[in-house]
Structures are given as structure tokens and as C-alpha cells.
Structure 1
Amino acid sequence: MTGQEAAMERPTVTNDIAEEDRLRADLYDFLGVLLAAPPNQGLLDQTARLSGDETDLGTAIGALSRIAQHTKAPAVEREFNALFIGLGRGELLPYASYYLTGFLNEKPLAALRRDMAARSMTRAENVYEPEDNIASLMEMMAGLITGRFGTPATLSDQKTFFNKHIGPWAGHFFTDLEAARNSVLYASVGAVGRVFMEIEAEGFRMSAG
């Protein structure tokens, strides 16, 4: 995956959402940024200042922060390239189509594009990655929560989008990232993502609608 820029056009942001939802969106956005391109030193320094509580998610965030304190941008760029780019391909292929069908650019991507169009989501002009990559999907969820693509999505619509496009595979991807041979900083990114996906899936399961 390449490109430091946002994967999606960002026409609108609405501030009238609950603090809990703002925090969820921030974590989706944070994962999206880390998975879209190697973090620069500024982002690594910000990550190093994060702190976590004693929950599973807080513990994972604390571990990521500690590793970021000892990570420099050139090293994490090499790590990112080995994981996601490589010679021909990286160690992991972070696409819904690949995880769900074993091939790239398959039916999950077509279904996602239909649902993006229905929600006025548009891929940024300077991004050429298939839209079903994990970084873009994290950004889409953040945008649905905050109203970046219009009004904030209802919890029911968030649940529908998550269960269709993220829930079936993102946890598997983050588990693979956690255990990948080339993962160092990204092993902790994988842990944060895995725990967060579990929390989101359970939250949606418990919700009505």
C-alpha cells in the first residue's frame, strides 16, 4: 500500500456526535493512517506519547506506545515495505477480496464499491489502491461515524457496513499482522487492531437493529 494522503475524499465533518463515537472514529483513523503508509517521525513521536489503561485495548495501545519510543522512521519504512510491498508483493495482502476469496479484485470489492456509491464515498484522485484495502476501510468507518461523507451514520448503518465489509476478515488480517515474520512495530499495530475489531464486533452484536 502506498501514499501518505488520505484514501477517501473528505467533503464534510460533523461535530455533533457522542464522545465515545469520536474516540472510536479516532482509533479507526489512527489505524488507517498507520496502515496506509510508513509513519513519519512525527507520527511515531505522537504514538510514543499514547497511554493505555488496564483493559485489553489499553494494554495493546500501551505496548504500541513503548515500541514506538524505540522506533525510528527509516526502520519502520523498511518494515512496512517488507510487510506490504516487497519484491513483487509483500508478506501480507491486506485486501478484503484476498482474505475472503483468495484473489484480488473479486466480488467483495464490487460490493464495497456499490455501498460506497450509496453513501457518497469517493476514492481520492491520487490513490490507486483497490478500495477494499484495510487502510481505506478503517478510514471509511471513521467517516461513517463522524459524518465525513454527509450526516453521521446511524449505529444500524455502521453495523451493516462493518458486518459486510470489515467484520468477516479484518480480525484475521490483524492477527496475521501481529504474527508476521517482518512485524516489529506492526506486531503491536496488529494487536491494537485485533482487540479493537473484537470490541466493535461485540458492540454491534449487542446493539439493536
Structure 2
Amino acid sequence: MMADEFAVPGDDAAGDRLTEMQDAPTGGADLDVGPEDRDRVALYGLLASGLQGPVGQDWLDVVSGLSGGAGDLADAIAALAKAASEADPKKLARDYHDLFIGVGRGELVPYGSYYLTGFLNEKPLALLRQDMRRLGMERDPEVKEPEDHIAALCQMMAGLIEGEFGDGSATAPSRFFRAHLATWAPYFFKDLAATDSGAVYPALGRLGQVFIELEDHADALFAERRGAV
């Protein structure tokens, strides 16, 4: 999927634009999604594509051209773009292995169950699978990792925002975010930002940290408005 350009969430300056990231998950859908939600989809897609496995030169080339936004989000995007422009894919593959795979276990364990309970495949994963069935999401049989991997959850959020899953309402992504990301993703991205594994993954962690904070704030406002109706 390639779009032209889009405004960054929370950006009040018309004309401050962020060039679109390849491979944001759209499922080929051509849905009536507003500019701000397209931004959210692309940012979730960027996080997912950067964390689902070692990234290649194509990913780095696209990310190195990203710019735009305002405030902390703009700073995080610029830092990631700079890190990507200077990165070596072979070094990044080693960094990814050390961070998330390791010998026995990586430095970080990017699963909701682990962050919430200290163990894999616990109740948070069971609850996620219930919601996946309810929303019409199916696990890819080729993927061996549990569904509460941070990259998978970011992909699911992108699909929910686009209306690819669920009933297409604004409440579906809000409830999913609150149940399956808000509870632990801020801590994961904070930990990722604090690692010393090169420059790309800490920068990706900082971008995730800032973006999830914006999402959390926006979701709280959405819940307030919903309660006032």
C-alpha cells in the first residue's frame, strides 16, 4: 500500500506533512477513513513492520525519508529517520536477535502476557483470543508467535481503525486499545527506548512511547465525550 502523504496526529500546522510509510496494513480495503485515522493506521503499521522481525534496506530507505509533525512526535519521527539513514541491516539483524530472541530469551519479551503476568500464554492472551474471534480476526497459520506480540497488536489496531475488522464503529478500536495495548504497551516502548542496542530500536521505542501516549490521551477524551452523550 502506498499513499501520498498525510498529516501527523496532533499536528495543528497545515502543511506539516509526514511522507507515508510502506506496508501499513490495509488488507487492500478502500474505506472512507479520515486523514487523522489514516495517520494512525500508518503509524501503527510502521511500529508493526519495525517490530515483527529484522528490517531490511527497503524499510530503512522509506523510514529515512519520514518527516513532519510537531512537538514530541515530530522529534521522535526525526530521530528514527536519522537512525534509519545511518543503519546497517546486518547490524540491525543482530540487534533484533539480541533484543527479542537471544540465547534462551532476549533482553525484552514483547508479549502482553509477559508484561502483565511475568509469564507467556496467560490470561491476557486468552482474553485477546476471545476478542479476536468476536471481531472476526483470524491468526495467520504461518505465524508461530502468540497473538499478543506487540507487532501483531499494532497490526490489529490498524485493521480496526480502517474498519477491516469489527463493526466499523469508532468504539471498536477504542475498546481494543484499552483492553490489549494501554495496559502494557507504554512500559514496553519505554523499555525499548532505554535499550542500548544501536540507534534504530531505541528510536522506534521512543516513537512508540510518544504515539501510545497520544493514543491514550485521545482515547480518554473519546470516552469522556461518549459518556456525555
Local SS of the residue matching 1:160? helix
Q: Could you report, residue by residue, the CA deviation over 1:55-94 in whole angstroms, capped at 9, with x for unpaired residues? A: 2111100000001110011011111111001111110001
* 1:119 and 2:135 matched: yes
**Per the alignment, do residues 133 and 186 of structure 1 end up closer, same or farther by CA in structure 2, a change over 3 Å counting?**
same
One-letter amino acid of the structure 2 residue matched with residue 135 of structure 1: A
Cα distance between partner residues in 2 of 1:161 and 1:150: 10
Residue 85 (structure 1) aligns with: 101
Q: Could you tell me which runs of 5 or more consecutive residues in structure 2 were left unpaired when the two chains were aligned.
A: 1-22
* 1:109 and 2:98 matched: no
Offset at residue 151 of structure 1 (A): 5.2
Residue 199 (structure 2) aligns with: 184
Q: RCO (CA 8 Å, sep 6+): is it higher in 1 or 2? A: 1
* Counterpart contact for 2:166–2:172, Cα < 8 Å: no
Q: How many residues align?
A: 201
* Counterpart contact for 2:196–2:202, Cα < 8 Å: no
Cα distance between partner residues in 1 of 2:167 and 2:29: 8
One-letter amino acid of the structure 2 residue matched with residue 131 of structure 1: E
TM-score after normalising by structure 1: 0.91
Q: Could you report, residue by residue, the CA deviation over 1:89-126 in whole angstroms, capped at 9, with x for unpaired residues? A: 11000100011111110000000000000000011121
One-letter amino acid of the structure 2 residue matched with residue 55 of structure 1: G
Moved over 6 A (4+): none
* 1:206 and 2:221 matched: yes
Residue 134 (structure 1) aligns with: 150
* Counterpart contact for 2:137–2:165, Cα < 8 Å: yes
Aligned match of 2:36 in 6, 14, 20? Answer: 20
**Per the alignment, do residues 202 and 84 of structure 1 end up closer, same or farther by CA in structure 2, a change over 3 Å counting?**
same
Q: Could you report, residue by residue, the CA deviation over 1:127-159 in whole angstroms, capped at 9, with x for unpaired residues? A: 01000010000000000011223653x222211
Residue 87 (structure 2) aligns with: 71
**Per the alignment, do residues 103 and 126 of structure 1 end up closer, same or farther by CA in structure 2, a change over 3 Å counting?**
same
Residue 170 (structure 1) aligns with: 185
Local SS of the residue matching 1:131? coil
Cα distance between partner residues in 2 of 1:148 and 1:85: 31
* Counterpart contact for 1:143–1:149, Cα < 8 Å: yes
Residue 3 (structure 1) aligns with: none
| Higher deviation after alignment, 49-58 or 99-108 | 49-58
Residue 161 (structure 2) aligns with: 145
TM-score after normalising by structure 2: 0.83
| Higher deviation after alignment, 163-172 or 179-188 | 179-188
Residue 35 (structure 1) aligns with: 51
* 1:98 and 2:98 matched: no
* Counterpart contact for 1:12–1:150, Cα < 8 Å: no
Local SS of the residue matching 1:71? coil
Local SS of the residue matching 2:33? coil
Cα distance between partner residues in 1 of 2:49 and 2:61: 14
Q: Percent identity among equivalent residues?
A: 44
* Counterpart contact for 2:51–2:150, Cα < 8 Å: yes
* 1:48 and 2:64 matched: yes
Local SS of the residue matching 2:46? helix
* Counterpart contact for 1:79–1:184, Cα < 8 Å: no
